[in-house]
Structure 1
């Protein structure tokens, strides 16, 4: 959630590129040379689409209104796991292009943290202004400062609420989208080790081992859900549960699999997943199904070109508290569809402001995120 949301580097460089190569893959731009066949892809369009899917799912879940029940056919689970797949495909290549762990870490921090910091501060200030508690009481409440400290450190689960904020909403959580960012950061940290393992053991052996470990984690905690009904499902969604999606993205990037391979895999695994629906063993097939589908769509060469500001990350970060604020202000009670339009409009404006005033200014001038705003952003 940047997780694909925040990873937009070159899409053609394999992981066995010499990190000492004296070209753009080592120095200068985040962009690396891309082959003509893959210069244009749909990662930008797909990431924005997935962000909108998450927004629509959260409108339905947060409001609990009949008007939005039709959004229930959408899957935020697919969207979020799609982000992890995209992130694996792009961010591992960013690491190789960076040429060093230090430069890679700098690029990731510049891309992910400023907007994240901004949305946490936004939520804290908005909470102080809308809390049922007087400002002085809100600011003297330890829970408020615990929220700020925990969320700035990616530890959202320690304090997901603010005192007196959204108390009458169906869901009191301030920003339920942020849990994925700590997972994204954990996956970023794994990249140097995964790339080294790819080179030492080979892509297929490494992927098989990490995939088995990731799926095994999910299966273990799913089997414990009846014994630990709250703890087990929560742990089943934490690292290394998402590593299977991430490492499949890396595998496709490294092997440069053509779309003619991805399409049959996506179709066959979808049929298999449908047959295992509701089964304890559906997690064995699901990562293959989701990852192959997402990457197949991303690499179809003839979809319309995308040329808009890169607001997908900001939209993902800001939509949840925007919906919650409009709920607390009674807008959805006045008119569900007015609330819906305002939620999309306000979240989009906040995302655009985040990109314009927070994200873009903190990036390096040679970052592809900056240069792509003057060229076709479809070249990831």
Structure 2
């Protein structure tokens, strides 16, 4: 600690920009440490225990979530830097694709075809005949992610996910796309980043979002904004690194403030500022030289994507109940070995392809638009036009198919019976659902987007409240921000029938249905499922 905070040899004030020297920084080690903390954090819920930071901070956040915030802060800085240093937009996209997907694809395949068969309760023929096995492979494309494999880990304490760590990757890739779009339209600069940061503070800190939309690309907007705030904090450091002082005093203040917020509240909000400063202080610290760590490889990504299924498999071998510290130690060693193999056999080889130039396009948005226009024009001339052979009949058929698919994709249901796979319509606190569950848990408040057909004016919500959920005594049903029902309830079957405003038009009417319970059931420490829940919902329909 004395060495970490020792005085600089110069009396001049130094700034982060003064400390940049190629690969000579500590960020690879910080990412590795964050990935390790994620494993440590997950060891607790996976073995039926509670994360230590979650206990200390009175439920504010876990060590795993805090580590993910660290990833996003660092990513915001280096992804912005990557765009500015890229020769072209295609060079940037290629670099991002090669970093995310090769390792992810192999990890998902190993989970599906190696861990799955070893840990499923089904026979091998049943497992490989089940559609859910191959549906899980769709996670390779990120949108949507799938969490279950048939019969895999179903008797574990945490049976709801095969690889829960992958949840953050779709958000990360979405932000890569955001940086590209800002860059293409010449908006990737100090002013735009600062404006975006301030807007996100208003949305996240004050919970202000004026639109009714709750999901985008199947991801919850609330989580998008929260993670984007940390990502943009890293972007801001990139743009203002010449103005941010490298100071032992500021680092010490940051540690004290963050420590206090663990007990007083506001840890996640304060971490955006003081946590971000500490990350870059340590990343560029003059007295901590871990950059030699990089010569062996960048193992943090592999550690992150392999550890969760390894931890689950260890729990499976132990019969689902084990000491969290034992789980962490065993999983860390095994995941580290897998991450070393992943780096040397997959990730490093994929990243070497960045050096191969397939196409070079200037990053200027005008040149990009011109090149894209030319590309689309050539595509039409060489591929699409010969295919349709100038035939309006063929065009009409293809266009009708497009209309049907597009309309179906954007259509909201008038009846939902679980399991239901279109997650774009759900908002609020719906808990993760397995493909074979005919219900879905709600934690206090949840919403769903539906369509009310003409002359159908009754909303029916069916479900169940377990006998030990004594805290749950009241439920409200709000439709398009209007309170339509407020009733007392008891454990047992849940059957809500709510009269809607008449829909006398010939078109379906779009509705946002909110179900709000007065409280959640807080599980005992001895309960296998540590999630807080209010009720399970099996069906919602408009009759």
Per the normalisation by structure 1, the TM-score is: 0.73
Aligned to 1:135: 124
Quote how far apart the aligned CAs of 1:246 are: 1.3
1:290 to 275, 278, 285: 275
Equivalent position to 2:195, from 183, 186, 209: 209
Aligned mates of 2:206, 2:133 — CA distance in 1: 35
Contact 1:82 1:294 in 2 (8 A): yes
What's 1:30 paired with?
A: none
How many residue pairs were aligned? 324
SS in 2 for 1:239: helix
Alignment of 1:169 with 2:156, yes or no, is yes
- The answer (yes or no) to whether the contact 2:105–2:140 under 8 Å persists in 1 is yes
Partners of 1:162 and 1:222 in 2: CA distance: 37
Corresponding residue SS for 1:242? helix
Structure-2 change in CA distance of 1:236 and 1:131 (3 Å): same
Q: Deviations over 1:212-252 (max 9, x none)?
A: 3333443576999xxxxxxxxx8365323212211221221
TM-score relative to the length of structure 2 = 0.53
Q: 1:261 to 1:341 in 2, by over 3 A?
A: closer
CA distance in 1, matches of 2:19, 2:264: 42
Pick one of 222, 225, 231 that aligns with 1:246: 231
State the shift of 1:210 in Å: 1.2
Structure 1 residues 263 and 55: CA distance shift in structure 2, 3 A: farther
Is the CA contact (8 Å cut-off) linking 1:166 and 1:174 kept in structure 2?
yes
Higher share of residues assigned helix: 1
Give, in whole Å, the separation in 1 of the partners of 2:329 and 2:268: 36
Bigger CA radius of gyration: 2
**CA deviation string 1:5-32 (max 9, x = no partner):** xxxxxxxxxxxxxxxxxxxxxxxxxxxx
Equivalent residue runs for 1:271-286 within 5 Å? 271=257, 274=260, 284-286=269-271
Report the alpha carbon displacement of residue 201 of structure 1 after superposing the two structures with TM: 8.5
Which deviates the most, 121-130 or 206-215? 206-215
Shift of residue 142 of structure 1? Answer: 2.0
Aligned to 2:332: 344
8 Å CA contact 2:83, 2:180 repeated in 1:
yes
Instruction: Name stretches of at least 5 consecutive residues in structure 1 with no aligned partner.
Output: 1-33, 225-233, 368-380
Aligned match for 2:21, one of 15, 28, 38: 38
Contact 2:72 2:172 in 1 (8 A): yes
Q: Distance in 1 between matches of 2:256 and 2:180?
A: 31
Gaps (5+ residues) in structure 2? 1-16, 57-61, 211-218, 356-543
Relative contact order: is structure 1 or structure 2 higher (C-alpha 8 Å, sep ≥ 6)? 1
In structure 2, the residue matched to 1:148 is 137
The range that moved more, 178-187 or 245-254, is 245-254
Q: Which has the higher strand share?
A: 2
Q: What is the Cα deviation at residue 155 of structure 1?
A: 3.2
User: For the residues of structure 1 that align with 2:136 and 2:272, how far apart are their CA atoms?
Assistant: 33
Query: Residues 1-380 of structure 1: matches in 2 within 5 Å?
Result: 38-39=21-22, 40-65=24-49, 75-125=63-113, 126-149=115-138, 151-155=139-143, 157=145, 159-172=146-159, 173-195=161-183, 203=190, 205-219=191-205, 235=220, 238-257=223-242, 258-260=244-246, 264=250, 267=253, 271=257, 274=260, 284-305=269-290, 306-307=292-293, 308-330=296-318, 333=321, 338-364=326-352
Aligned counterparts of 2:323 and 2:84: Cα–Cα separation in 1: 50
| Structure 1 residues 220 and 259: alpha-carbon distance in aligned structure 2, compared to 1, 3 A threshold | closer
Moved more, 187-196 or 140-149: 187-196
Residues in 2 aligned to 1:50 and 1:295: alpha-carbon distance in whole angstroms: 14
8 Å contact 1:322–1:346 — kept in the other structure? yes
